[in-house]
Structure 1
Amino acid sequence: MKGKKKMLLKKIKKVLLSLVAAATVSATLTGAFGATTVSADTTNAQELQLDAKAAIAVDAKTGQIIYGKNESQLLPVASMTKLVSIYLVLQAIKEGKLSWDQKVSVDDASYQVSQNTSLSNVPLKKGNTYTVRQLYQASLIYSANGAVMTLANAVSGSQKAFVDKMRTLLKSWGINDAEIYTASGLGNNEIGNAKYPGAPTNAENKLSAKEMALVSQKLLTDYPEVLKTTSIARMKFNNGTSETEMENWNWMLKGLAKAYSELPVDGLKTGTSDSAGADFTGTVNKDGHRIITVVLGAPHTSDTDVSRFTQTQKLMSYVYNNFTYTTIKANQSFKGAQQLPVYHGKELKTKAVTKNATAVWLKNGLSTASLQASLKGNKKLYKNGGLEAPLAKNKNIGTISLQVKQQPLTYLNGATSLKLTATNTQKIEKANIFVIMGRAIKNFFTNLF
């Protein structure tokens, strides 16, 4: 009996050890390969299968991320770089440092690049001058590399100085990991003696889909007139002795190969290279609601490949078909975030409502009733646990944060909830000394007993 019992204990011990080992291996595999986790920076990626390395869809006004796939991964962006360059050109014009009709001469590096027929270009001529407007149009419509290099020189005096300006601009927007070496998006080895000093020969510009969306949002917000040019399907460029027919590389524009009547796309910029594949940052305003989409690393087998536009159409359609643009009105209150305490006021509480109207994209089937609210008071106005009276009407008394249990709310600025300024609906006078004393006495006896 003792021998049998001993053998039984050994078997039990062996089984327990096997179970522990299996659990350990399972945990190790899960941790190593993420078998049960979803990328933290991905929203709805599993609901839409896109043939692209990374993608994102955002609301152009609020920056809400409606869809994301590997949106924080740094990838080559090729000629989509020009959106950063064009922002700086428009900024220089706004500041009076450039003018639309100003004539600009072409330096040797820009000229040499413009003669490369394997790249997207309008052929510039030595000794000729071109207006800022001509070069701007060629850069946006035809992705002309020599043209945008010429604009960069006009803004900053040299390619290096302009690239440094691009880097500074991106950092001012909170984009700190971008790799920027050229104004055009070409590789550092493709721009001759204008290459960025000290950088690797094969260095190329890299941004994430999320960062490209932020660049586009900034451009559309600060310079919405850019759409007047990005929406042009065809235009001729006069280089002095001949004309170049420029057909926009954005084939989703009306009248071009991948136009889709349900999606009136009016911008923004394509990008193509061997390492990048086919990229496209697009924007569309449907039913008065504008979104920005970015597709990085779509397949690119030839110059006639339309994959990036097919993926963009799928992404745009997914947003408009599966989400509802839901308005949140001004002066709206939410359960659980309706009031804040007031210190030494005639009233001890004040109602909190939204200061301005805004909107949020909610999955179909959800409504404002699905929003969960929290309220945080403005600490600058606080004293002894309450907003110090007197308080003027419509004072910015705090922040209402909205979340949805069934749908993550994330934004380009890093916010993980919809944050709205809260104001009070009525003027709160300060209580007189007798009321204040009376309250103090009442509180004393209440706490005493």
Structure 2
Amino acid sequence: MKRKQPLLLVIIAFFVLSNFIYNVPNIEAATKLDIKAKAAIIIDAKTGKVLYEDNADELLGVASMSKMLTEYLVLEAIHEGRISWDQKVTINEFVHKLSSPYLGLSNVGLTQGEAYTVKELYQAMAIHSANAATVALAEVIAGTEGNFVKLMNEKAAELELGDFHFVNSTGLNNSDMLDNHPEGTDINDENKMSARATAKLAYHLLNDFPEVLDTAKISRLKFRDGRTYNNFNWMLPELTFEYEGVDGLKTGSTNFAGYCFTATAVKSNQRFITVIMNTKSQIERFNETAKLLDYAFANFGEDTLFEKGFVPESKKTLPVTKGKDDSVKIATKDPLSLIIKNGEKDKYKAKLVLNKKKLNEDGQLTAPVKEGDVVGYLTYEYDGDDLGFITDKESTVKVDVVATESVEKANWFVLMMRGIGNFFASLWNGITTTVGGWF
């Protein structure tokens, strides 16, 4: 029996090792999230860098997430002075009827003939997704909702959202609008966007009008009708699916769109935007959003790729013509930072791009060169699966490269003597080449 023990141990060790080998987690698969939705995307809110995407370009029902564009146009009108927060809006018959609780739409009660401020209507829209209040705001800005829809599509094109289709200000199906849907639109039509377009809209909204979060983060709205309305973003503090750092942005749901959610959350100065589209329930849209946020916060963070004063290995100096010195040292003016996946810093390499307008045909700067003169910029190259940015402006992730010293222009005598020297050097080279050819 003692002679058989080594063989038995070898067999046991073989099976243990085999089991380990065949059960090592698939690293590639680990980054593929099991998201129960038709589309999803995660972006960095600061730069728009895409960190994860799944079917992000399919045009899908967007429901009340389209109110983010209405919010954008309202905030833009406020900034431009075309409307004001304390401006009074008198409720007409259609808006009053649309606000009826018997329709089963998200609303606050609006009384016909009563005046509400723009701020009251905006809060009702942004916090409780109030559809009638949204229509009232659209009419204030554009006269009619039909005109406002034209503004929506024009602004969407201006923001280069790409995949979008807007037929009303609310995200409702037109058939829910009491036969008073915007002129020029189909009665059975509904707003549509891709997850990428929705994320891009949220990106612009947050960066152009960061005050949007002052309202979006409010968990409950006390309205003048005497009722308190919960924010439909149940991931806010004190609500059912509270998630640390969530302070926006917009939910949406219709039969066509399913349950959708554009979320944003911030921790330790790092903010992400996530979009989830066409889930099957309110619970599912928040659970799936939590997966996206968990993944983002656990795997990504801002890191400094290249410090201030970084000198590119490929070109530490630039040649200078007509100067007292024949070259000038260069370096980055500021550090270059980027949101990257943990442990991947070594996959980023420096990429120097020189300003060709400042160089002659021989690639030289012309003296005088002053310390601090911008000669180009430094960006990066990434050896990995780069999902790009939500906008096409990747050049925004760059820092100026400057001259770190001055090179004065040489005086006329020095330039003349250099010219003479160059002439004779060229002549001598020509002679030696010719003579050498004889032999």
**TM-score scaled to structure 2, two decimals?**
0.83
Q: How is 1:248-267 mapped onto 2 (pairs within 5 angstroms)? A: 248-260=231-243, 263-267=244-248
Question: Which residue does 1:95 correspond to in 2?
Answer: 80
Letter in 1 for 2:62: V
1:247 positional shift: 0.1
Does 2:224 match 1:245? no
Task: Name the aligned partner's letter for residue 378 of structure 2.
Answer: I
For 1:45 and 1:299, locate their aligned partners in 2 and report how far apart those are by CA, in whole Å. Answer: 24
Residue 24 (structure 2) aligns with? none
Aligned to 1:213: 199
Determine helix, strand or coil for the equivalent of 1:293.
strand
* CA 1:349–1:135: 2 relative to 1, 3 Å: farther
Partner of 2:215: 229
1:195 is the counterpart of 2:181: yes
1:307 to 284, 302, 312: 284
Aligned to 2:272: 291
1:203-252 Cα deviation digits (max 9, x unpaired): 211112122112112111121111111111112111xxx32221000011
CA contact (8 A) 2:336 2:399 kept: no
Residue 366 (structure 1) aligns with: 344
In 1, distance between residues paired with 2:425 and 2:259?
A: 70
Tell me whether 1:322 sits opposite 2:322 in the alignment: no
**Residue 398 (structure 1) shift:** 1.9
Aligned partners of 2:150, 2:220: CA distance in 1, in Å?
A: 32
Deviation at 1:438, TM superposition (A): 6.3
Distance (whole Å) between structure 1 residues aligned to residue 427 and residue 293 of structure 2: 64
1:322-366 CA-partner distances (Å, limit 9, x unpaired): 223213444434433655444444444444444444532222222
> Do the aligned partners of residues 440 and 248 (structure 1) sit closer, same or farther apart at CA in structure 2, a change above 3 Å counting?
farther
1:397 equivalent in alignment to 2:375: yes
Structure 1 residue 189, shift from structure 2 partner: 2.5
Equivalent residue number for residue 414 of structure 1: 392
Aligned to 2:409: 430
Q: 2:112 aligns with which of 126, 140, 156?
A: 126
Moved more, 170-179 or 308-317: 170-179
Q: Supply the AA of the counterpart residue of 1:306.
A: I
Indicate the residue corresponding to 1:137 in structure 2: 123
**1:445 to partner: Cα distance:** 6.2
Tell me if the contact between 2:162 and 2:197 (Cα under 8 Å) persists in the aligned partners.
Answer: no
- What do the CA deviations read for 1:374-422 (whole angstroms, capped 9, x no partner)? 2221233232233443333333322323122134251112256774132
Q: Which residue of 1 aligns with 2:251?
A: 270
Name the larger-Rg structure. 2
2:400 alignment partner, SS class: strand
Alpha-carbon RMSD across the aligned residues, in angstroms, is: 2.6
| Mapped partners of 1:46, 1:276: distance in 2 | 27
Alpha-carbon distance change, 421 to 77 in structure 1, aligned in 2, over 3 angstroms: same
**Quick one: which amino acid aligns to residue 164 of structure 2?**
A
Contact 2:173 2:254 in 1 (8 A): no
Determine the C-alpha separation between the residues in 2 that align with 1:70 and 1:337: 41
Amino acid aligned to 1:437: G
What is the CA–CA distance in structure 1 between the aligned matches of 2:393 and 2:429, rounded to whole Å? 41
Structure 2 residue 46 is the aligned partner of structure 1 residue 61: yes
Hey, what's the Cα distance between the residues in 2 that align with 1:251 and 1:370?
38
8 A Cα contact 1:390 1:429, kept in partner: yes
Q: Indicate how the Cα distance of structure 1 residues 364 and 152 shifts in structure 2: closer, same or farther if over 3 A, else same.
A: same
- Once the two structures are superposed, residues 76-113 of structure 1 have per-residue CA deviations (whole angstroms, 9 ceiling, x without a partner) of 11101111111111111111111111111123332232
Q: Which secondary structure state, in structure 1, belongs to the residue aligned with residue 185 of structure 2?
A: coil
The answer to whether the Cα contact below 8 Å between 1:403 and 1:418 also exists between their aligned partners in 2 is no
Does the Cα contact within 8 Å between 1:45 and 1:69 map onto a contact in 2?
no
Structure 2 CA distance for partners of 1:418 and 1:229, relative to 1, 3 Å: closer
Provide the identity percentage: 37
- 1:42-61: CA deviation from partner (whole Å, max 9, x where unpaired): x9995212111111111111
Alignment match, 1:378: 355
1:72 to 57, 70, 76: 57
Checking the alignment, whether the CA contact within 8 Å between 1:342 and 1:387 is kept in structure 2 is yes
Q: Which secondary structure does the structure 1 equivalent of 2:165 belong to?
A: coil
AA at the equivalent of 1:427: S
SS of the equivalent of 1:269 reads: strand
Matched positions, count = 397
Q: Does 1:183 align with 2:163?
A: no
TM-score (norm 1): 0.81
3-state secondary structure, aligned to 1:411:
coil
User: Residues 191 and 358 (structure 1 numbering): CA distance in 2 closer, same or farther, change over 3 Å?
Assistant: farther
